[in-house]
């Protein structure tokens, strides 16, 4: 007998009390208003949550068909002003806006809103002094230090468009993103620190700008020093001709810089993300809609209140860091937390120790970290007093009920809400999540849509919106996750490739935004995200495109063809399994396997390195030459007994060979 699916056995866990008095009735009313009077709903939120330099004249215009959505048309504002200045003007200058904890637990900084205003202004002036202008793309490749968030804010202040590249990407992947965005400026640090080790970021940038056409594109590399000594006149790193030392440059700048007047639809940032095919997409988020959506979802999902200390431990290289480390909490005038290290350094009590020491009230991480920490046993969290936490959040991948239970019972002592937040780089902020004290929870379900999100389950076969008539005998609907109308936080285009934006998100199901995920909606209307329906792999919550890993593999002369699939993994959720067909003249050897892993590390980054590589005489291809990944996915999931129809394969006998080879690895 197979194990029951989580939704079949899930029991409702009553919502835990919030302190803002939100109720299920209020949520339902809000949701209804948001559907019936969408413009009024968002207009009221935009006026209540943000300060505008000029009011908007139209709430929303455009269509999914053309992909010309615009929010708060004609409105002018500055995100950095909203995130910092207005709090200072409202008398909160002395409040700590950011707590930073470095790789070593005793390496911490507390920065007030006033200090942030001064430092971000100085950075803005420094960027301007180096020739950065409104609209320029500034690539940021930095460790998780306050200067990373401040550089993002400085870009927003002057209207430069930041493109943060996760510092785990290789020089090649960085070069690709710099080149695609034609980014004249790269901001980095001499090094990063993680788990006691140095990460040579500046060196990686150096390698990147010598690749592709980056030498012609990049004018300046602005380098922060991880351990700056104001007395030192010499850089602690090898200076290249394009390098500028950031710390001494910033120190001499005027600590005020007026915020630029930005149109609501001016580009705010780019963030590259992986799709199933081709190169990473540079998704574009714009100023007004994104700011509102970041602030609104941070407030409602985490039940933020005056005096709260909000900790999202994601990296700013991903959307979670943008929305819930930097922009959301600061827009609300809350105290945000920036964390440089890992959950297990110097020991696996790090998170709980941080919560206790800093009196964190909301804590937000990924299921993969929870699964990892679970392995170290219940005693570790029990050693710490984490009673200050009210909300524990998870993001990035489905959370398995065992991990949910551990988070709820062992960490939260059954007193906290677990918010399971479902969203994407493209959505800007949460789209489906439970709310503290409002929504009864079910372990493993992200529950109900955020007000304003017209969430629809579509038939994967013909695209019709599923209705009661489509329910199975248990009252469940199963299909693909889509959204029927625009929302302020949605990405507006793919930089330089609007057609790709339309093709990926709006053409598959006309009239809908297509998430790329499959979903089950149960009899209570609760959503259970099953996973991607495309070839995107989710390793430890990191979204990795198969095409990127495959092209790194075939760049090695030994590989004639490669196909990459996600393999179930106890901690990472999925790991990467690569099937490679070798070029004539090459043979399988342990050295070659090492080289191939290295090829992925250099082509993409260490986080995308395959756990398994299967060398095979050929790949399961149709007669027209298309690789049938479906078969490979079944093999790595130990479901080879339900392969389905293999008769369309050019050589069906290859399947048995692959099954045998994969079994040898296990």
Binding residues for ligand PRX, rule: CB under 6 A, are: 273, 318-320, 395-398, 420-425, 446, 515-517, 529, 532, 538, 543
Q: Which are the contacts of 476, defined by CB distance < 8 A and separation ≥ 6?
A: 7, 520, 521, 522, 523
Task: Decide whether 188 or 515 has the Cβ nearer to ligand PRX.
Answer: 515
In angstroms, what CA-CA distances link 159 with 144, 425, 490, 643? Answer: 22, 21, 19, 52
Query: Is-contact 80 157, C-beta < 8 A?
Result: yes
Task: Decide whether 93 or 444 has the Cβ nearer to ligand PRX.
Answer: 444
Q: How far apart are CA 576 and CA 599, in angstroms?
A: 14
* Token digits of residue 273: 């993300």
CB 423 → ligand PRX: shortest distance, Å?
A: 5
CB 398 → ligand PRX: shortest distance, Å?
A: 4
* Token digits of residue 156: 């927003």
Task: Decide whether 289 or 396 has the Cβ nearer to ligand PRX.
Answer: 396
Task: Decide whether 289 or 428 has the Cβ nearer to ligand PRX.
Answer: 428
Q: What is the DSSP letter of 11?
A: -
Q: Sign of the C-alpha dihedral, residues 177, 183, 187, 189? A: positive
Helix (H, G, I), strand (E, B) or coil at 502: helix
Question: What are the start-end ranges of the H helices in 452-589?
Answer: 498-501, 546-554
Task: Decide whether 247 or 518 has the Cβ nearer to ligand PRX.
Answer: 518
CB 521 → ligand PRX: shortest distance, Å?
A: 14
Question: What are the start-end ranges of the H helices in 555-665?
Answer: 590-603, 629-636, 654-665
CB 533 → ligand PRX: shortest distance, Å?
A: 9
CB 309 → ligand PRX: shortest distance, Å?
A: 22
Task: Decide whether 392 or 395 has the Cβ nearer to ligand PRX.
Answer: 395
CB 430 → ligand PRX: shortest distance, Å?
A: 8
The neighbour count for residue 276, using CB atoms within 10 Å, is: 16
CB 527 → ligand PRX: shortest distance, Å?
A: 9
Q: How far apart are CA 416 and CA 19, in angstroms?
A: 12
**CA atoms within a 13 Å half-sphere pointing along the CA-CB vector of 105:** 16
The neighbour count for residue 124, using CB atoms within 10 Å, is: 30
* Token digits of residue 223: 């380098």
Output the 3-class SS for 532-559: ECCCEEEECCEEEEHHHHHHHHHCCCCE
Peptide bond into 627 cis (omega under 30): no
Task: Decide whether 246 or 477 has the Cβ nearer to ligand PRX.
Answer: 477
Task: Decide whether 38 or 518 has the Cβ nearer to ligand PRX.
Answer: 518
CB 235 → ligand PRX: shortest distance, Å?
A: 35
């Amino acid at each position: 007998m197979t194990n029951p699916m989580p939704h079949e056995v899930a029991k409702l866990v009553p919502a835990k009390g919030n302190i803002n008095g939100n109720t299920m009735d209020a949520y339902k009313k809000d949701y209804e208003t948001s559907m019936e009077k969408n413009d009024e709903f968002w207009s009221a939120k935009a006026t209540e949550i943000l300060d505008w330099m000029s009011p908007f004249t139209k709430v929303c215009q455009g269509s999914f068909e053309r992909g010309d959505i615009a929010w708060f048309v004609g409105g002018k504002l500055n995100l950095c002003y909203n995130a910092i200045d207005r709090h200072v003007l409202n008398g909160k200058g002395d409040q700590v806006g950011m707590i930073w904890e470095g790789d070593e637990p005793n390496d911490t900084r507390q920065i007030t809103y006033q200090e942030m205003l001064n430092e971000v202004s100085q950075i803005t002036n420094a960027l301007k002094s180096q020739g950065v202008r409104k609209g320029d793309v500034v690539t940021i490749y930095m460790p998780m230090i306050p200067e990373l968030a401040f550089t993002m804010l400085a870009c927003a202040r002057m209207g430069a468009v930041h493109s943060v590249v996760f510092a785990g990407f290789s020089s090649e992947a960085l070069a690709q993103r710099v080149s695609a965005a034609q980014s004249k400026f790269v901001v980095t640090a001499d090094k990063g620190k993680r788990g006691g080790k140095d990460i040579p970021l500046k060196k990686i940038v150096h390698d990147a700008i010598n690749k592709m056409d980056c030498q012609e594109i990049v004018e300046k590399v602005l380098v922060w020093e991880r351990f700056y000594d104001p007395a030192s006149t010499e850089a602690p790193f090898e200076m290249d001709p394009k390098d500028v030392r950031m710390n001494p440059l910033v120190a001499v700048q005027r600590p005020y810089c007026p915020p630029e007047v930005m149109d609501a639809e001016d580009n705010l940032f780019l963030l590259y993300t992986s799709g199933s095919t081709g190169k990473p997409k540079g998704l574009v988020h714009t100023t007004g809609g994104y700011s509102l959506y970041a602030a609104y979802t941070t407030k409602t999902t985490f039940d933020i209140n005056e005096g709260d200390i909000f900790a999202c431990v994601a990296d700013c290289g991903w959307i979670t860091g943008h929305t819930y480390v930097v922009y959301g909490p600061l827009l609300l005038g809350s105290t945000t937390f920036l964390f440089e290290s890992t959950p297990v350094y110097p020991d696996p009590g790090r998170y709980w120790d941080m919560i206790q020491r800093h009196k964190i009230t909301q804590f937000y991480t990924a299921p993969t970290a929870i699964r990892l920490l679970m392995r170290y046993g219940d005693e570790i969290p029990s050693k710490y007093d984490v009673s200050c936490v009210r909300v524990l959040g998870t993001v990035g991948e489905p959370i398995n009920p065992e991990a949910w239970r551990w988070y709820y019972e062992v960490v939260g002592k059954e007193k906290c809400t677990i918010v399971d937040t479902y969203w994407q780089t493209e959505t800007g902020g949460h789209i489906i999540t439970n709310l503290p004290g409002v929504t009864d929870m079910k372990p493993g379900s992200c529950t109900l849509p955020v007000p304003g999100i017209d969430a629809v389950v579509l038939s994967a076969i013909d695209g019709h919106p599923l209705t009661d008539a489509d329910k199975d005998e248990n009252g469940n609907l199963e299909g693909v996750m889509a959204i029927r109308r625009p929302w302020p936080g949605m990405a507006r285009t793919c930089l330089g490739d609007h057609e790709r934006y339309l093709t990926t998100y709006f053409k598959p199901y006309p009239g809908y935004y297509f998430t790329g995920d499959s979903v089950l909606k149960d009899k209570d209307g609760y959503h259970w995200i099953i996973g991607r329906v495309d070839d995107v792999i989710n390793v430890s919550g990191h979204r990795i495109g198969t095409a990127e890993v495959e092209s790194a593999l075939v760049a090695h002369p030994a590989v004639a063809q490669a196909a990459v699939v996600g393999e179930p993994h106890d901690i990472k959720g999925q790991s990467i399994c690569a099937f490679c067909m070798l070029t004539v003249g090459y043979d399988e050897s342990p050295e070659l396997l090492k080289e191939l892993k290295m090829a992925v590390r250099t082509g993409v980054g260490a986080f995308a390195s395959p756990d398994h590589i299967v060398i095979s005489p050929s790949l399961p291809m149709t007669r027209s030459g298309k690789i049938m990944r479906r078969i490979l996915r079944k093999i790595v999931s130990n479901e080879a007994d339900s392969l389905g129809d293999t008769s369309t394969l050019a050589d069906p006998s290859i399947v048995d060979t692959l099954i045998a080879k994969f079994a040898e690895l296990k």
